Amino acid sequence: MNISIIMNNLLFRNNNSADYIDDKEIEALQRELSKLQISISEKKCAGNEFLGWVNLPSEISENFLKDIEDCAKKIRDNSEYFVIIGIGGSYLGARAVIESLRNSFSDFDKSAPKILYAGHNLSEDYLSEMVNFLKDKSFSMAVISKSGTTTEPAVAFRLLKQLLEKKVGQEAAKERIIAITDKEKGALKILANQNDYKTYVVPDNVGGRFSVLTAVGLLPIAVAGFDISRLVKGAKKMQEICGASSLLAENPAAHYAASRNILYQKGFKTEILVSFRPKLQYFGEWWKQLFGESEGKEGKGIFPAAVNFTTDLHSMGQYIQDGQRTIFETFITVEKPNKSLKIPSEEQNLDGLNYLAGKDIEFVNRRAEMATAIAHVDGGVPVLQIIIPEINENSIGQLIYFFEKACAYSGLILGVNPFDQPGVEAYKKNMFSLLGKPGFEDKKLNERAGL
């Protein structure tokens, strides 16, 4: 089946997987998807208390965007650096968008502060290097935690808050701290209230990994200098396309969800998101969390991995081509680069590259992409393909919504609740016990850890 949607919008194709996905299977899933479309829109599916992301793009008001932009402007005017403190869904969305859009070597917008990330690890080296680095810099920060109780961002925030207060004084520090958290619950909310921080709310009905189009993602993205209205517009376009029809021929997210689930049923248990653009590396990280945390439960779920080609063709490429045949790939193809650069000619041609002289680098990259897809299909790896016109706010917004909707369909087809993450608690419970947190005492566990 082939999909063709108006130019400038994301396309999905599964032609390269024709040997593995037959029309009868698609038809069977079509019926299921039509029912799912209704249960999602009527909020009757599993996890229905977390469906706030479904209509989010069309519900974001101009006023809200203006408020975010005003807040971002203030930060941009007074800070050299902006630290985004958060983990998982409270940081990956912002990072995915910022890394996709920023210049790889110089800052996109000279007036924007440089973006740093904290609270996504517990590394003493990382944090002490950051504290040391920031001690003589002008900085602001957003501390982002829906629950307001997550250990990693709490530790980073305590350190950076104290550093900032020492540098500029308690009153001035308040002007440089934004808290993004629950409307009423959690330690961060209490702290924010007591200190009068500017606060944004993570809506109750939007889970962390679906929150990039709330203040969680929009504020950092605006601070970094990117057009959040255009991002939301792209997402809204995809919301319209995926909401208008559940027909696989018209709804790319449903078509993708159906295709990957058919492959999963046939033993393709690992999906690798492939991009030939290093800018999309963090988009892969965001995607891994979205699908991994949404689907990996009850002993089920496609394992999400991501690679950057051609870089990883020289490492993971061997396994993908010849290793265990349990992998399928989803290529994100970008139709057009944002810059242009031609391969120069050289008189001596010692490197033998003159046959490419005058060609764009893009020409070589796209040929590499086509060659890889064919080689992998020939090696027994089904390849799905998502095509976007270019990397910009609009297409990234489309991609975000496309994957969110596909993830919901996909998890529901699998029979799990895509919006919870009960498994994440296991390590936390153990960690608190090993750290000696009151209320988490467990002698046996401490013995098992050799403590």
> Which residues are near ligand PA5 by CB under 6 A?
87-90, 145-147, 150, 153, 207-209, 293, 421
Given the residues 233, 266, 269, 428, select the one marked as catalytic.
Answer: 428
Report the SS3 class of residue 274.
strand
CA distances from 58 to 202, 207, 217, 422 (A): 17, 18, 16, 30
> What sign results for the dihedral spanned by CA atoms 148, 150, 155, 157?
negative
Answer whether 392's CB lies under 8 Å from 339's CB: no
- ω into 372 cis (within 30 of 0): no
Token pair of 308, please? 């950057």
- Based on the residue annotation, tell me whether 255 is a catalytic residue of this protein: no
385: left (phi over 0), alpha (psi -120 to 50) or beta: beta
150 versus 214: smaller Cβ distance to ligand PA5: 150
Q: How far is CA 203 from CA 51, 185, 207, in A?
A: 10, 12, 8
For residue 388, the minimal CB distance to ligand PA5 (Å) is 24
Alpha-carbon distance 366 to 309, whole Å? 11
- What is the 8-class DSSP label of residue 40? H
Residue 199 · residue 177 · CB < 8 Å: no
Q: Which is nearer to ligand PA5, 252 or 304 (CB)?
A: 304
Q: Is 233 or 428 the residue whose CB approaches ligand PA5 more closely? A: 428
CA 154 to chain centre: 22
CB of 328 to ligand PA5, least distance (A): 24
Considering the complex, what minimum distance in angstroms separates the CB of residue 294 from ligand PA5? 8
Catalytic residue (choose from 314, 339, 443, 444): 314
Tell me, yes or no, if 293 is annotated catalytic: yes
Beta carbon nearer to ligand PA5, 259 or 421 = 421
Nearer to ligand PA5, 151 or 392 (CB): 151
- For 401-413, b/e burial (b = at least 16 CB within 10 A) is bbbbbbbbbbbbb
List the Cα angle 412/399/328 in 5-degree steps.
60
396 phi, psi to nearest 5 deg: -70, -40
Query: Which residue lies nearer to ligand PA5 by CB, 3 or 408?
Result: 408
> Taking the complex as a whole, how short is the minimal distance between the CB of residue 347 and ligand PA5, in angstroms?
56
315 DSSP 8-state letter: T
Closest separation in Å from C-beta 323 to ligand PA5 = 29
State the minimum distance, in angstroms, from the CB of residue 389 to ligand PA5: 29
Query: Which CB, 293 or 329, lies closer to ligand PA5?
Result: 293
CB of 90 to ligand PA5, least distance (A): 4
In this structure, the dihedral spanned by the alpha carbons of residues 325, 333, 235 and 260, taken in order and rounded to 10 degrees, is: -20
Question: In the annotation, is 314 catalytic?
Answer: yes
Q: How far is the CB of 432 from ligand PA5 (least distance, A)?
A: 15
Nearest to 206 by CA among 100, 82, 90, 109: 90
d(CA 401, CA 442): 42
Residue nearest to ligand PA5 (CB): 208
Sheet holding 383-388, edge to edge: 11-13, 383-388, 327-334, 270-275, 303-308
The active-site residue out of 293, 329, 369, 393 is 293
Nearer to ligand PA5, 9 or 90 (CB): 90
Active-site residues: which are they? 293, 314, 428
